[in-house]
Structure 1
Amino acid sequence: MKKFRLMDWPTFIASLLILLSVVVPLIAFPEASRNTILQLNDWVTTGLGAVYLAVGLAVFFFVLYIAFGKYGQVTLGKESDEPEFGTFSWAAMLFCAGIGSSILYWGVIEWVYYYQAPPFHLDPASEEAINYATTYGIFHWGPIAWAIYVLPALPIAYSLYVKKRPILKISLACEPILGKYTTRWPGKLIDVLFIFGLLGGAGTTLGLATPMIAAGMESLFGIDGEGAALRLGILIAATVIFAVSSYSGLKRGIKVLSDINLWLTFILLGFVFIVGPTVFIMETTVSSVGLMIKDFFRMATWLEPFGGYNDVPETSFPQSWTVFYWAWWLVYAPFVGLFIARISKGRRLKEVVLGTLLYGTLGCALFFGILGNYGLWLELSGTFSVTEVLNNQSGEAAIMAVIGQLPFGKLTTAVFVLTALIYLATTFDSGSYILSATTQTEVDGEPYRWNRLFWAFALSVLPFSLMLISGEDSLGLLQTASIVAGAPLIVIFIMLMISFIRTLGDDRVKLEERHRAHKEKERRTLSISYAKRDKWWE
């Protein structure tokens, strides 16, 4: 059977069984499942918070070392290979895969949480609290987040395009450590843990996006946004969109959808920037970036160790936010990293690292700087109280209320909802593409269509189950799902860094020869350019 000969059935079946073992108890025993998840969250954030932050910084410095060190000029492919995708489409695909519709949720209202419950034991709504409220979102979605994303891309892309191994698996990147066990149960376990982590992250993203889109539908058409039928319909619609896109393939589906999404983003952000308080947005964004650079390492390492001692208040701010975010990036990183690897043929390692860090951080800063600071201006100017809506209703209602304050409120809300829906689709069509590739022994061109379609629908099962049991503390439960699912990936990320350095070290002689050839090619090109210039002057 040609449609099944490349399937990695042990990984496929094990992943499916784990998914069912999580989903069935969630639906059959919702209250007990809820309590179990929250207990796991307490254990992970209390015991592993410092580990998460340490891994975040270690990954950040590691990818910078790769970019600026002796391996940065390694080309992913032959020296003569041109990038498979243009810079715009490449940046669009990696950005849309990496952030999804969650950026629209947090970009608008994340500052409210920091404004009311600021870090570093600051007074709520004080000037310092406002400064950090506009900064922490950019930090959480900034360089460390994108460094975590790009790490898995490097060894996988190297294996795919330099060593010519048509396999998209995290276990393969750990081969220098696993050795012959790469294709045995330790390697299978790593791939299954990756899939489990991605499913947990999907629960958070879909669980946040679906109520937000439902609130937009309520604002536009007066439909009850709290109704389970509407939310289920939105979940199904999003699943169908990204299933069709994933089924169409990388170039005809995912690339086109990502390009459309990026243009919608430019239109939305440009409109808010022009009709909103433009000067306030510019000044606040620049100030926030400056504060993030100044306090980067303080924010990256703060864990509130003295909370609860000597009358120092305990707020759990770092556990609720920074640790949560690092765990969220970890669960998505293997998938986003594999996707970045797949679209980066012909690019140098330095270009992949710096491009991901730059385009990813800049894109997220624009969301927080424009949408978030517009909401902050509404609050500070007394035009509209975002905090009141958030406290008395919900995050989704606050988001739609902020968007509704813009001129042409209905049209702007419609564009916002459409953008959110397509962002959701671009994330998960990429996810189903990579999951299908992970459950095959190799990728002959592209993963099987039926396999891509299967994982497109499987991705929506867990978030729907979480939505059923989330109740009042839906945000806390969804955050917990990411933190718990991401814990095993800490070990895998350490293995990835060690393995990639070993691989590069073993291939050092070949790499140095390629680097010298690349330099010689640049020298010859420059000499020809000078010769042509001198001839022209003559």
Structure 2
Amino acid sequence: MNKNLIDWPTFLGALFLLLAVSIPLAVFPEAGTEIVNMANDFMTGNFGVMYLIFGLAAFAFLIYVAFSKNGHIKLGDQDTDKEFGTISWAAMLFAAGIGSSILYWGMIEWAYYYQGPPFGIEGESQEAVDWSASYGIFHWGPIAWSIYTLPALPIAYFYYVRKKPVLKISEAVRPVLGRLVDTPLGTVVDVLFMFGLMGGAGTTLALGTPMIAEGVHDITGLPVTLLMKTVIMIICTSIFAVSAYSGLRRGIKVLSDINLWLAIFVLAFMFLFGPTLFISETTFTSLGLILDNFFKMATWLEPFANVEGFTETEFPEAWTVFYWAWWLVYAPFVGLFVARISRGRTIQEMVFGTMLYGTLGSVLFFGIMGNFGIHLQLTGSFDVVGFMNENGAPAAIIAILNQLPMSGIMVTVFTVLATIFLATTFDSSSYILSAVVQKEVKSEPLRWNRLFWAFTLCLMPLVLMFIGDLETLQTASIVAGFPVLFIMGLLAWSFIKASNEDIRASKDYEPPTIHIDRRDILKRMRKRKKKRSALEALEDRNVDD
């Protein structure tokens, strides 16, 4: 157990902040909930425009980088092979970035939009149906994956190109902050990131645990109780703890591959044995609606909501702003993870791969699962909305699955898939948390460190589950993620500054792949500095003469 590798100020700072939030919420649940909700209303109500501006800016920045000379930089040496095959790579980044939340929202999000659609549209109307089938895909589409990918740029660059064995957000902003990174400011940056990640992971747990519990109830007939949810949480924790302990190749990769094939099976079964034509046509129509209204959806904020005669829906704050804030909380973590698994790829491959595979996966989940539910609602086969309003979203999700042929088998597979999805998100999270609190990561974080953060991730959700208020954690993570908005700007600036400096100093400048030899660059920079010093000395001598 090499404790000298641990960055103790960051380790203890993140743990202290976690306890400082969990304990008061457990002791004073009502007051804590009220304060957190007030802070959330203030953030989303007054700074919502900042989140939406950032979303579009991240999307535009990633497109620019991919097509620029920076996009041709290879992450690694010239002869470095890709560490993971494309399928495993796509599976890992998708499982880490989405988790079981997509099973939850992919199946039921449309029902909320159907009842409370955007743009002042009447609920449960024909127009409401169109938007309810489209908005989920938009919220989980290119902008979301752009926010995720942005932090991966500087992190991957410093780790694989500049050969710095440090997986830290603070280290990635060193080109901008300089030596300030070595002060307490650098620790604050890393601690805020870790707290936001722990809160975001708790949100995923808050959605996944009740859904899995409903699946277990449907299979076994056991009632959904607090004890059942606790047991489910312990089982999920054990799975991702073992996976995190096993490491990237033997643990996370294996779980992600299993996850991918189970997801393909569920989607294919629902597509083939469900209303295939309806699902195909509705999904295709939704993509057209999004493309036609992309910027409208990305910038809508109801500026006239408080003016007399205008209808206020609170849709942007409740959904788009919330989602962009949620992606921000997760972004540094997903960026760290995507960076870690992208060795041997170019920046362009990493950018387009993450945005393309991530968006494609989201389209499949929302297009197939969501539109299956919409078909049940519109044809009168099953009143999804009425059942959800009466019994809750987790129960409605399982009820939708029960409308399929061989429903018992499908509910079982779906429940197993949700459990593994939850585990893959958490083992990826614990892997990155353990990496951030180490001074360097040459291969993988220390095993005891990975195991510690695997179980620590469950601390806050477990406390809040016992007091019956998991939603507070979700709201708290959004509030905690506000500073990440500014850190993301520093990350983008750092990548451009560092990569441009190295490209100008590199001999291998031409596409298709720019290989940057750090040793050669440093040698040439030292020669240039000596030459400059000699010229300055000569000029001084001429002046004296």
Q: Is the 8 A contact 2:72 2:511 kept in 1?
A: no
Q: Is the 8 A contact 1:100 1:426 kept in 2?
A: yes
For 2:497, the equivalent position in structure 1 comes to 502
Counterparts of 1:201-212 in structure 2 under 5 Å?
A: 201-212=200-211
Cα deviation 1:144-200 (Å, max 9, x = unaligned): 000011111111111011101111001111001110111221111110010011011
Shift in Å, 1:320: 0.5
Amino acid at match of 1:468: F
Q: Is the 8 A contact 1:203 1:466 kept in 2?
A: no
Amino acid at match of 1:259: D
Task: Determine the C-alpha separation between the residues in 1 that align with 2:303 and 2:507.
Answer: 46
Shift in Å, 1:482: 3.2
For 1:232, the equivalent position in structure 2 comes to 230
Structure 1 residues 455, 60: CA separation in 2 closer, same or farther (over 3 Å shift)?
same
For 1:464, the equivalent position in structure 2 comes to 462
For 2:97, the equivalent position in structure 1 comes to 98
Q: Is the 8 A contact 1:203 1:481 kept in 2?
A: no
> The residue matched to 1:508 in structure 2 has which SS?
helix
For 1:179, the equivalent position in structure 2 comes to 178
Q: Is the 8 A contact 1:89 1:255 kept in 2?
A: yes
> The residue matched to 2:71 in structure 1 has which SS?
coil
For 2:508, the equivalent position in structure 1 comes to 513
For 1:531, the equivalent position in structure 2 comes to none
For 1:433, the equivalent position in structure 2 comes to 431
For 2:450, the equivalent position in structure 1 comes to 452
For 1:72, the equivalent position in structure 2 comes to 71
Amino acid at match of 1:162: V
Task: Determine the C-alpha separation between the residues in 2 that align with 1:449 and 1:414.
Answer: 32
Of 390, 393, 403, the match for 2:391? 393
Q: Is the 8 A contact 1:134 1:284 kept in 2?
A: yes
Q: Which deviates more from structure 2 when the two are superposed, residues 244-253 or residues 40-49?
A: 40-49
Structure 1 residues 371, 512: CA separation in 2 closer, same or farther (over 3 Å shift)?
farther
What 5-or-longer segments of structure 2 have no aligned partner?
516-545
Shift in Å, 1:55: 0.8
For 1:25, the equivalent position in structure 2 comes to 24
Structure 1 residues 41, 517: CA separation in 2 closer, same or farther (over 3 Å shift)?
closer
Counterparts of 1:467-482 in structure 2 under 5 Å?
A: 467-471=465-469, 477=472, 479-482=474-477
Shift in Å, 1:517: 8.4
Counterparts of 1:330-409 in structure 2 under 5 Å?
A: 330-409=328-407
Structure 1 residues 516, 205: CA separation in 2 closer, same or farther (over 3 Å shift)?
closer
For 2:168, the equivalent position in structure 1 comes to 169
Q: Is the 8 A contact 1:324 1:482 kept in 2?
A: no
Task: Determine the C-alpha separation between the residues in 1 that align with 2:150 and 2:484.
Answer: 13
> The residue matched to 1:5 in structure 2 has which SS?
helix
Shift in Å, 1:519: 8.1
Shift in Å, 1:465: 2.6
* Larger Rg, first or second structure (1 or 2): 2
> The residue matched to 1:295 in structure 2 has which SS?
helix
For 2:486, the equivalent position in structure 1 comes to 491
Q: Is the 8 A contact 1:204 1:481 kept in 2?
A: no
Structure 1 residues 517, 229: CA separation in 2 closer, same or farther (over 3 Å shift)?
closer
Shift in Å, 1:505: 2.1
Amino acid at match of 2:291: I
Task: Determine the C-alpha separation between the residues in 2 that align with 1:424 and 1:511.
Answer: 43
Of 240, 243, 248, the match for 1:242? 240
For 1:119, the equivalent position in structure 2 comes to 118
Q: Is the 8 A contact 1:34 1:470 kept in 2?
A: no
**Share of identical aligned residues, percent?**
56
Of 323, 330, 355, the match for 1:325? 323
Shift in Å, 1:133: 0.3
Shift in Å, 1:297: 0.6
Shift in Å, 1:47: 1.3
Amino acid at match of 1:338: L
Q: Is the 8 A contact 1:143 1:357 kept in 2?
A: yes
Task: Determine the C-alpha separation between the residues in 2 that align with 1:14 and 1:62.
Answer: 32
For 1:525, the equivalent position in structure 2 comes to none
Task: Determine the C-alpha separation between the residues in 1 that align with 2:513 and 2:294.
Answer: 36
> The residue matched to 2:150 in structure 1 has which SS?
helix
1:254 aligns with 2:286: no
Shift in Å, 1:506: 1.6
Shift in Å, 1:380: 0.2
Task: Determine the C-alpha separation between the residues in 1 that align with 2:257 and 2:288.
Answer: 31
Task: Determine the C-alpha separation between the residues in 2 that align with 1:465 and 1:323.
Answer: 27
Cα deviation 1:394-451 (Å, max 9, x = unaligned): 0101101001111111110000000000000000100000000000000131100000
Q: Is the 8 A contact 1:328 1:483 kept in 2?
A: yes
Q: Is the 8 A contact 2:174 2:494 kept in 1?
A: yes
Task: Determine the C-alpha separation between the residues in 2 that align with 1:108 and 1:235.
Answer: 22
For 2:308, the equivalent position in structure 1 comes to 310
Task: Determine the C-alpha separation between the residues in 2 that align with 1:77 and 1:46.
Answer: 43
Amino acid at match of 2:269: F
Structure 1 residues 405, 70: CA separation in 2 closer, same or farther (over 3 Å shift)?
same
Amino acid at match of 2:500: G
Q: Is the 8 A contact 2:212 2:415 kept in 1?
A: yes
> The residue matched to 2:70 in structure 1 has which SS?
coil
What 5-or-longer segments of structure 1 have no aligned partner?
521-538
> The residue matched to 1:244 in structure 2 has which SS?
helix
For 2:267, the equivalent position in structure 1 comes to 269
Cα deviation 1:116-159 (Å, max 9, x = unaligned): 00000001111111111000000000000000111111111110
Amino acid at match of 1:20: L
Shift in Å, 1:452: 0.3
Equivalent pairs counted in the alignment come to: 515
Q: Is the 8 A contact 1:95 1:359 kept in 2?
A: yes
Of 398, 407, 410, the match for 2:408? 410
TM-score by length of 1: 0.94
Q: Is the 8 A contact 2:107 2:366 kept in 1?
A: yes
Cα deviation 1:479-522 (Å, max 9, x = unaligned): 423321211111101111111111122212245624358489xx
Task: Determine the C-alpha separation between the residues in 2 that align with 1:464 and 1:100.
Answer: 18
Task: Determine the C-alpha separation between the residues in 1 that align with 2:261 and 2:507.
Answer: 41
Q: Is the 8 A contact 1:207 1:466 kept in 2?
A: no
Task: Determine the C-alpha separation between the residues in 2 that align with 1:515 and 1:91.
Answer: 28
For 1:278, the equivalent position in structure 2 comes to 276
Pairwise CA RMSD of aligned residues?
A: 1.4
Task: Determine the C-alpha separation between the residues in 2 that align with 1:247 and 1:230.
Answer: 26
Shift in Å, 1:324: 0.8
Structure 1 residues 512, 326: CA separation in 2 closer, same or farther (over 3 Å shift)?
farther
Counterparts of 1:111-150 in structure 2 under 5 Å?
A: 111-150=110-149
Amino acid at match of 1:491: F
Q: Is the 8 A contact 1:31 1:469 kept in 2?
A: no
Cα deviation 1:340-396 (Å, max 9, x = unaligned): 000000100000000000000000110000000000000000000000011111010
Task: Determine the C-alpha separation between the residues in 1 that align with 2:200 and 2:178.
Answer: 29
Task: Determine the C-alpha separation between the residues in 2 that align with 1:80 and 1:164.
Answer: 15
1:5 aligns with 2:4: yes
For 2:526, the equivalent position in structure 1 comes to none
1:55 aligns with 2:50: no
Shift in Å, 1:466: 2.9
Shift in Å, 1:333: 0.8
Task: Determine the C-alpha separation between the residues in 1 that align with 2:447 and 2:30.
Answer: 37
Task: Determine the C-alpha separation between the residues in 2 that align with 1:137 and 1:223.
Answer: 32
Task: Determine the C-alpha separation between the residues in 2 that align with 1:131 and 1:478.
Answer: 32
Task: Determine the C-alpha separation between the residues in 2 that align with 1:317 and 1:220.
Answer: 36
Task: Determine the C-alpha separation between the residues in 1 that align with 2:468 and 2:44.
Answer: 19
Task: Determine the C-alpha separation between the residues in 2 that align with 1:397 and 1:504.
Answer: 50
Q: Is the 8 A contact 2:114 2:132 kept in 1?
A: yes
Q: Is the 8 A contact 2:104 2:397 kept in 1?
A: yes
Amino acid at match of 2:11: F
